[in-house]
Amino acid sequence: MALATDTAEARGTQRRLVEEIRRLREEKNAVILAHNYQIGPIQDLADFVGDSLGLAQAASRTDAPVIVMCGVYFMAETAKILNPHRTVLIPDSKAGCSLADSITGEQLRAWKAEHPGAVVVSYVNTTAEVKAETDICVTSGNAEAVIRSIPPDKEILFCPDMFLGAHLERVTGRKMHVWMGECHVHAGIRPGQIDEQREKFPGAELLIHPECGCSTRYVWGQSVGAMRADGTHVLSTEGMLRRARQSDRNTFLIATETGLLHRLRKEMPEKRFEPADEGAVCRYMKMITLPNLRDCLRDMTPDVDVPPDILERARRSVERMLSIKP
Ligand code: 13P
Ligand code: SF4
C-alpha cells in the first residue's frame, strides 16, 4: 500500500521510516538499487536509480555483501545471477511482471526446436529460466546495438515483447521471429490520451518507451530522422532522461510508467514533464513500499534464490548483454 504523504503525521512516519532504512542499510552493509518506476521516497534514498540496464550494471559493479532490489522480481534475479555469492533481497517477492510472465522456459524450448540454429535474443524482462535458454539478453537501452551485432545470415528469435521487437525490426531493418508478449502497462497507454495531451501541450516532445503499443501508431513507417523532426522519440527510460537533458525544448510528454516523472522533474526542475497517460502505473513496481523495504532490511528476507544450473546458463546471456554498449 502506498504511503499517504499529505498530513503532518504521515510525513513524520515517512521521515522515521527513511531514517530507519538508512540506519539498517549501514548496519547490514547493504546497497539499495531502485528502478526509475519506484515511488519518489524510495528513489530519493536509493544508492543508485536507473533503468534495467543501469541496474544490471550497478549490480555487476558492487562489492556490497547485500543488494536490495527495489524493482520487480526479474531485476532481483538478474542481480543474483551476476552475484551468486552475495545476498540479494527484494522487499516483496510477489512483485512480478506481466511481460516476463508472457513466456515460460518450456515455451521457449519448444520455439527453439522449431528453429534450430537460430540466435535467441531475450529482453531482460524474463525469468531466470528463460534467460538460461537465451543466447543474449537485451534491455531497451542496448537492444538495437545487440541486434546489429548479430551476423546477418543468422535467424533471430526475439522474445517476449512484440512492440519492442517491431521497433527493432524497423530501426535495424532486420527481420526477426517475434514472440507475441506485451507489458500490460505500456500496451495499455491509450493513443486517445496522447492525442489529448498533444493538443493541450503543443510543441512538446513526445518520448515513447518501445514497449508501448502507441510507438507503432506514432512512428511506424517513419525513418529515425523523421521521428526526430517530428519531436517524437522512442527511448528507454534512461534514454528519456538523456534526451530531455540535451533537448532545447521545455515541455515533454512521457509515454511510460509514471514513476519516471519523479526523476525527470527532480533532475530538471526548469523543464515541464507531463504523463502521456496518467493511468500508466505498474502495480508490481508499486508493491515496493517504505515499510516493506524497512522490514526486508531488518529481517534480511525475502531473499532471491536461483537454482545453480539455471544461474550458470543464465549468467552467460546476461554477461553478453553487459559486454555490448548502447
Ligand atoms: P527500462 O527500464 O529498461 O527502460 O524498461 C522499462 C520497464 O518496463 C522495466 O520493467
Ligand atoms: Fe513489467 Fe510492465 Fe511493470 Fe515493467 S511496467 S515491470 S514491463 S509489468
Structural domains in the chain plus CATH codes:
2-97+285-306 (3.40.50.10800), 100-184+310-323 (3.40.50.10800), 189-275 (3.40.50.10800)
Q: Is there a contact between 278 and 197 (Cβ–Cβ < 8 Å)?
A: no
Please tell me what DSSP assigns to residue 6: S
- Is 161 close to ligand 2, i.e. is its CB under 6 Å away? no
For the question of whether the overall pTM of this predicted structure is more than 0.85, the answer is yes
Which ligand sits nearest to residue 139's alpha carbon?
A: 1
Instruction: For residues 59 and 61, give the distance between their C-alpha atoms in angstroms, rounded to a whole number.
Output: 5
Residue 110: count other Cβ atoms within 10 Å of its Cβ: 10
Give the contacts of 151 (CB within 8 A, at least 6 positions apart). Answer: none
CA-angle at 125, arms to 215 and 251, nearest 5°? 40
pLDDT (0 to 100) of residue 226 = 44
Pairing status of strand 251-255 against strand 30-35: unpaired
Query: Which residue has a Cα nearest atom 8 of ligand 2?
Result: 97
Q: Is 161 in the pocket of ligand 1 (CB under 6 A)?
A: no
Q: For residues 68 and 31, give the distance between their C-alpha atoms in angstroms, rounded to a whole number.
A: 6
Of all atoms in ligand 2, which is nearest to the CA of residue 125? Answer: 7
Residue 19 corresponds to which cell in the numbers above?
531514517
Query: To which residue does cell 513507417 refer?
Result: 221
Task: Give the per-residue pLDDT at 79.
Answer: 97
Q: Which ligand 2 atom is the nearest neighbour of the CA of 71?
A: 6
Ligand 2 binding pocket includes 282 (Cβ within 6 Å): yes
> Which ligand lies nearest to the CA atom of residue 239 in the structure?
1
Residue 173, judged by CB atoms within 10 A of its CB (0-12, 13-18, 19+), counts as: exposed
**Comparing C-alpha atoms, which of 187, 160, 182 is closest to residue 104?**
160
Cα distances (angstroms) measured from residue 273 to each of 7, 227, 234, 241: 26, 19, 16, 11
Q: What CA–CA distance (Å, rounded) separates 3 from 277?
A: 22
Q: What is the pLDDT of residue 225?
A: 40
Task: DSSP letter for 303, please.
Answer: B
pLDDT score at 192: 84
| Ranges of residues in the chain whose predicted pLDDT is under 50 | 220-226
